[in-house]
Amino acid sequence: MEPIKDMKGTAELLARLGLRDSNSGACEVDWIENPGGRLLESINPATGGVIARVKMASLEDYEYVAATAETTFLNWRNLPAPQRGEVVRQIGVALRENKEDLGLLVTLETGKIRSEGEGEVQEMIDICDFAVGLSRQLYGLTIASERSQHRMMEQWHPIGPLGIITAFNFPVAVWAWNAMIAAVCGDTMIWKPSPETPLTAIVVQSIVNEVASRLDCRGVFNLVVGDANDVGERMIHDRRLPLISATGSTRMGERVGAVVGRRLGRAILELGGNNAIIVTPTADFDMALRATVFAAVGTAGQRCTTARRLIVHESIYDGFLERLVNAYGSLRIGDPWEEGTLVGPLINERALDTMKNALEAAVEQGGRVVAGGQRLERPGYFVEPAIVEANPGMTIIGEETFAPILYVMRYETVDDAIAIQNGVAQGLSSAIFTNDVREAEQFLAPDGSDCGIANVNIGTSGAEIGGAFGGEKATGGGREAGSDSWKAYMRRQTCTINRGRSLPLAQGVRFDVG
């Protein structure tokens, strides 16, 4: 495919993905007949131009969708799980067929480079494959009973319709983590995407709708593009949705968790990350350097797993920092759809302002900017990734700035390094580079990294879907994707069956009547 360089090329891409062109050079998209909400502009962060205008949903539209999800659930939950898995398998096939175009749309709407855009679609495909296998492996346990001629077991049932709230930085992959697993578990769902990335959501929903229509299971996967203050609030208050899975800031998660908790619902919260990499004297410096650069500047620092702190042993600090600054100097920043670009734009002007304010605060608190930090003089929201020499006492280090700022600090002992790493409110991803087995084991011990993800000789970014994804502390504590995360989308039921003719009570309790 030729690189998209103008709005005409973008319109052609949207047309291939099933969205109609308009005379204005942008695409006017109506969704679910004629939604009652306001028009929302999807902006290309690399140009600042409008890609398309989307009609958002009103509260009345949300009520219609929620009722559909609730009604559909009553039948979907009774379909055998392998048959639900077949629906997910065919969604995976459809995503494969659209991978290149959909990946490019992710690039245009988020600013991710091409390989990251296509990689996100591949992540959706991978979780479809995972969920298909899972559909034949949902299991319960048989448990020894203390009573003669009794069998005790646990089984898992679908929990009901659920709400999925996603962020702009992974506009479709995180939805798939939740949706594909929930679908094979027997749940229906309502997806509320970020207002920054409505087009990718609409295209994915269109692909899913085609599969669902062909397989006669419409209403399982549902989309509502709406405002946080009305549709979002209605969703988290909605007692028809026993589970809300929300990805976003810690502040947003506190709101979601409080509201859902008050109605005794469940919440999967994937929130802020303030991730650190420790580099020890025995590390493979080439590996550590490459991993640090990708983790710090990939997606322009807008991943929840972005490396925001680098903790380097004092004996190698100066040399490693010099190599890091040189590596930053060679980064190619530019249009994310062009071959060779490594760093694209931030998502919007507000993100640029936030980064600027954070750098100013770092300097005020005693830090020193040794690389980057300047906005590029060109259209769009481009900035040079920044490196800041810092110390652990700077308060700005404890904040998650969703931008490419890397704070570099010294340490003396591994205990010190782990304490620095754990000394922030967030607890998502962490990494250590070492060839010392004792250091590696210390990092992974109960008193080591306090994060949900702890890597040795691998950076903080790039989690595989086979492992459960999520973090601790202010990151929310939720888990998505692999391992046994499917249990979050189901309800556990303990069952005891008496095959005898007597009625013994547990714990030896006697209650004789007559």
What is d(CA 90, CA 428) in angstroms, rounded to the nearest whole number? 33
Q: pLDDT: is 459 or 30 the higher one? A: 459
Question: Are residues 358 and 317 part of one domain?
Answer: yes
513 within domain boundaries = no
Please state the rounded mean pLDDT for residues 289-293: 98
144 and 160 both lie in a single domain: yes
Report how far residue 365's alpha carbon sits from residue 367's, in angstroms, rounded to the nearest whole number.
Answer: 6
pLDDT band at 85 (very low <50, low <70, confident <90, very high): very high
Sign of the alpha-carbon torsion through 319, 325, 329, 330? positive
Say if residue 176's pLDDT is above 80. yes
pLDDT value at 26 more than 50: no
Give yes or no for a contact between 43 and 380, defined as CB atoms under 8 angstroms apart.
Answer: no
* Claim to verify: residue 245 and residue 329 sit in the same structural domain: no
Closest CA to 427 of 292, 276, 280: 276
Count of beta carbons in the 10 Å neighbourhood of residue 390? 23
Asked whether residue 292 carries a pLDDT value surpassing 80, the answer given is yes
CB-based contact 442:418 (threshold 8 Å): yes
Copy the structure tokens of residue 173: 């992959």
Counting residues of the chain whose pLDDT is more than 90, the rounded percentage is: 90
Mean pLDDT for the chain overall: 94
Confidence of residue 27 (pLDDT cuts 50, 70, 90): very low
Mean pLDDT of 93-122: 97
- Distance (Å, rounded) from C-alpha 282 to C-alpha 127? 36
| Residue 203 pLDDT level (bands cut at 50, 70, 90) | very high
**Quick one: pLDDT band at residue 28, thresholds 50, 70, 90?**
low
Co-location of 171 and 203 in the same domain = yes
In a domain, 52, yes or no: no
Does the pLDDT of residue 106 top 80, yes or no? yes
Instruction: Please indicate, yes or no, whether residues 228 and 365 belong to a single structural domain of this protein.
Output: no
For β-strands 386-389 and 368-371, DSSP reports them as: antiparallel
Q: Is the pLDDT of residue 25 over 80?
A: no
At 19, the pLDDT band (50, 70, 90 cuts) reads confident
In this structure, the answer to whether residues 227 and 92 fall within a common structural domain is: yes
Instruction: Verify whether residue 270 is a known catalytic residue.
Output: yes
Residue 146, CA distances (Å) to 21, 142, 363, 505 in order: 68, 13, 66, 10
CATH of the domain at 118: 3.40.605.10
Q: What is the CATH number of the domain that holds 342?
A: 3.40.309.10
Q: Is residue 82 part of a domain?
A: yes
The answer to the question of residue 358 being in a domain is yes
**Tell me, what's the pLDDT at 15?**
83
Task: Considering the candidates 27, 128, 217, 304, report the single residue annotated as catalytic.
Answer: 304
User: What does the pLDDT average to over 241-250?
Assistant: 97
Is the pLDDT at 346 greater than 70? The verdict is yes
> Cβ distance 277 to 309 under 8 Å?
yes
Does the active-site annotation cover 27?
A: no
Looking at the fold, whether 332 and 439 belong to one and the same domain comes out as yes
Instruction: Based on the fold, state whether residues 378 and 427 are members of the same structural domain.
Output: yes
**Cα separation of 485 and 22, whole Å?**
43
Does 292 lie in the same domain as 375?
yes
Q: Do 66 and 238 contact (CB within 8 A), yes or no?
A: yes
pLDDT of residue 31: 58
Residue with token string 């245009």: 108
Q: What is the pLDDT of residues 188-198, one digit of tens each?
A: 999 999 999 99
Is the entire prediction scored with pTM above 0.85? yes
The residue whose two tokens read 């493979």 is 284
| Assigned token pair, 510 | 């006697």
Q: Does position 9 have pLDDT exceeding 90, yes or no? A: no
The answer to the question of residue 106 being in a domain is yes
pLDDT score of 255 more than 70: yes
Q: What is the mean pLDDT of residues 251-266?
A: 97
Query: Residues 256, 306: one domain?
Result: no
- Is a pLDDT exceeding 50 seen at residue 11? yes
Residue 344 lies in a domain: yes
**Alpha-carbon gap, residue 376 to 185, rounded angstroms:** 47
- 363 found inside a domain: yes
Res. 417: pLDDT tops 80:
yes
Q: What is the enclosing helix (H) or strand (E) of 73?
A: helix 59-76
Query: Is the model's pLDDT at 81 over the cut of 50?
Result: yes
Region at 462 (left for phi over 0; alpha for psi -120 to 50; beta for the rest): left
Question: Using an 8 Å Cβ cutoff, are 276 and 455 in contact?
Answer: no
- Give the C-alpha separation, 347 to 168, whole Å: 8
Residues 173 and 150 in one domain: yes
Residue of 270, 384, 439, 480 with catalytic role: 270
Domain count, the chain: 2
Backbone angles phi, psi at 140, to 5 degrees: -125, 180
Please give the residue range of the domain that contains residue 310: 275-464
The two three-digit tokens of residue 247, written as one number: 């990805």
- Pick from 240, 280, 235: which is nearest to 259 by CA? 235
Domain assignment present for 376: yes
Q: Three-class SS of residue 324?
A: helix
Q: Do 241 and 356 reside in the same domain of the chain?
A: no
Three-state SS string over 466-509 comes to CCEECCEECCCCCCEECCCHHHHHEEEEEEEEECCCCCCCHHHC
